[in-house]
């Protein structure tokens, strides 16, 4: 059973370009979460999605950032017009469908974005 | 606002010793807590979790203790090994499964 997959693992973008980060959850998992991590810091929640729905985007910057989890295909985190401050590791996590209780979140290996 | 913090940024132990990593949380409404291990260049790896209706849970070589009175969480690692060297994060669940992470404690295990 493959774990959470993210690609690319490393992404270099120039200021003003767009960055697209992809996440394929574990098989059978319908909940996806995106987190951002700066060096030597903890992960910061960005957005929580289920298939075709954004459930909680309270951690997303108001501009330039968007996320989707379509019915088919991976979840996408999109950053438009990147700036140097966007350089970070972006992690995706998935968890299985629950009836409202808590469930483990399994993390992917992350995408390390560098903005030059 | 909500915060999850750690008392010790770096913990150095000898191989074979027991390690204790501590965490304080501020949201008394949190009902689910997780410890993750993160090695350099990798994603967080689930270690153990605990719900707020429990005060202790044991896994293989690890134990998590929860003290809701003082809002304190700890991770105990028995017979620490060099492979345990990593950064350890505690996280709390708020609302609908969103995790709030602490800043991390680096565990260094000397052979």
Two structure tokens written together for A37: 């991590």
Residue B103 has what pLDDT? Answer: 77
Size of interface A-B (CB pairs under 8 A): 64
Nearest to B99 among A41, A45, A109 (CB): A45
Interface mutation vs chain A, best among B40, B98, B103, B106, most A CBs within 10 Å: B98
Residue B4 has what pLDDT? Answer: 53
Residue B7 has what pLDDT? Answer: 46
Q: What is the pLDDT of residues A35-74, one digit of tens each?
A: 999 877 889 999 999 999 999 999 999 999 999 999 999 9
Residue B1 has what pLDDT? Answer: 37
pLDDT beneath 50: ranges in chain B: 1-3, 5-8
Residue B43 CB-density burial (10 A; 0-12 exposed, 13-18 middle, 19+ buried): buried
Residue A42 has what pLDDT? Answer: 85
Residue A49 has what pLDDT? Answer: 95
Q: B49: which chain A residues are within 8 Å (Cβ-Cβ)?
A: 102, 104
Please give the helix or strand (H or E) that residue A53 lies within, else none: strand A53-56
Q: A104: which chain B residues are within 8 Å (Cβ-Cβ)?
A: 34, 46, 49
- Among residues B75, B2, B87, B10, the alpha carbon closest in space to that of B41 is found at B87
């Amino acid at each position: 059973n493959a774990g959470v997959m993210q690609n690319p693992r490393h992404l270099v973008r120039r200021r003003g370009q767009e960055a697209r980060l992809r996440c394929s959850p574990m098989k059978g998992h319908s909940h996806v979460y995106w987190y951002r991590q700066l060096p030597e810091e903890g992960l910061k929640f960005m957005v929580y999605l289920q298939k075709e729905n954004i459930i909680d985007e309270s951690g997303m910057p108001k501009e330039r950032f968007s996320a989707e989890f379509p019915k088919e295909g991976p979840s996408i985190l999109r950053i438009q017009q990147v700036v140097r401050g966007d350089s970070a590791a972006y992690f995706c996590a998935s968890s299985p469908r629950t009836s409202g209780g808590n469930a483990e979140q399994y993390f992917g290996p992350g995408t390390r974005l560098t903005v030059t | 606002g909500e915060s999850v913090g750690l008392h010790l940024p770096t913990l150095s132990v000898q191989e074979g010793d027991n390690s204790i990593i501590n965490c304080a949380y501020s949201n008394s409404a949190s009902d689910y807590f997780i410890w993750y291990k993160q090695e350099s260049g990798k994603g967080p790896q689930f270690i153990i979790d605990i719900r707020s209706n429990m005060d202790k849970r044991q896994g293989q070589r690890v134990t998590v203790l929860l003290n809701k009175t003082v809002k304190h969480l700890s991770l105990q690692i028995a017979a620490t090994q060099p492979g345990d060297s990593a950064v350890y994060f505690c996280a709390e669940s708020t609302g609908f499964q969103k995790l709030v992470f602490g800043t991390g404690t680096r565990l260094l295990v000397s052979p």
